[in-house]
């Protein structure tokens, strides 16, 4: 392989790796509120960070259930609270290494006193935190802290229910 062929191969591999990387959208809390308010089906907002051990530990449960319930219309948004220096490269690398396909948003906010109550008035700011919403049935539940797989399954069954509570 000559130097031109080698250079072409390296460039091709870089293009493939960049094109397969998931885009992490930068959002304000008002955009997350809009997703919640305009949702017409079962929705989970999971708030986490790459540096948060309990967040990373529960993430596979969310991804497994999301994949298993996509046909039920379940939506999942992973909202990252990573620090600004992690956006977007560190978060993208984290997602790529773990082959995470769920939509990821990076919350571009620093004042927890402002954004926490917009997610849920009971949220102290502890992560992970998750909101389970189904606007068509009126279901809304908030969970602060790490969830077990069993707890997550219970919440998903509740947001998938068709009857109005």
- Predicted confidence (pLDDT) per residue in 104-147, tens digit: 999 999 999 999 999 999 999 999 999 999 999 999 999 999 99
pLDDT at 2: 58
pLDDT at 162: 73
In a domain, 72, yes or no: yes
Helix 29-38 and helix 112-119, axial crossing angle in degrees, nearest 10: 0
In a domain, 87, yes or no: yes
Residue 65: left if φ>0, alpha if ψ -120 to 50, beta else—which one? alpha
In a domain, 10, yes or no: no
pLDDT at 22: 73
Return d(Cα 22, Cα 91) in angstroms, integer: 9
pLDDT at 8: 46
In a domain, 16, yes or no: no
Band the pLDDT of 13: cuts 50, 70, 90: very low
- For the segment 90-110, the average pLDDT, to the nearest whole number, is 96
Using the predicted structure, report yes or no on whether residue 21 has a pLDDT greater than 50: yes
Q: Which residues, listed in sequence order, are joined to residue 27 by a DSSP beta bridge?
A: 107
In a domain, 12, yes or no: no
Task: Let me know if 33 is exposed, middle or buried by CB neighbors in 10 A (0-12, 13-18, 19+).
Answer: middle
Using the predicted structure, report yes or no on whether residue 12 has a pLDDT greater than 60: no
Return d(Cα 151, Cα 128) in angstroms, integer: 14
In a domain, 96, yes or no: yes
In angstroms, how far apart are the furthest CA atoms of the chain? 69
Band the pLDDT of 9: cuts 50, 70, 90: very low
Assign residue 41 the CATH number of its domain: 3.40.30.10
In a domain, 13, yes or no: no
Q: How many domains does the chain have?
A: 1
Chain mean pLDDT for the chain: 89
> Which residue range is the domain that position 112 belongs to?
30-160
- For the segment 40-55, the average pLDDT, to the nearest whole number, is 97
Query: pTM to 2 decimals?
Result: 0.85
Pairing of strands 42-48, 25-27: unpaired
The sign of the CA dihedral 150, 47, 66, 132 is positive
**Cβ proximity of 142 and 129 under 8 Å:** yes
In a domain, 21, yes or no: no
């Amino acid at each position: 392989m000559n130097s031109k062929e080698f250079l072409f191969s390296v460039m091709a591999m870089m293009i493939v790796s960049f094109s397969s990387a998931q885009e992490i959208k930068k959002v304000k809390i008002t955009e997350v509120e809009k997703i919640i308010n305009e949702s017409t089906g079962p929705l989970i907002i999971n708030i986490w960070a790459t540096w948060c051990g309990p967040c990373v530990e529960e993430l596979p449960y969310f991804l497994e259930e999301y994949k298993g319930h996509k046909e039920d219309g379940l939506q999942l948004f992973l909202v990252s609270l990573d620090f600004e220096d992690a956006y977007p490269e560190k978060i993208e690398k984290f997602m790529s290494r773990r082959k995470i396909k769920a939509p990821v948003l990076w919350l571009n906010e620093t004042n927890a006193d402002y954004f926490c109550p917009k997610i849920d008035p009971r949220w102290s700011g502890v992560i992970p935190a998750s909101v389970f919403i189904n606007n068509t049935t009126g279901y809304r539940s908030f969970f602060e802290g790490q969830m077990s797989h069993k707890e997550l399954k219970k919440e998903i069954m509740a947001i998938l229910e068709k009857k109005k509570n």
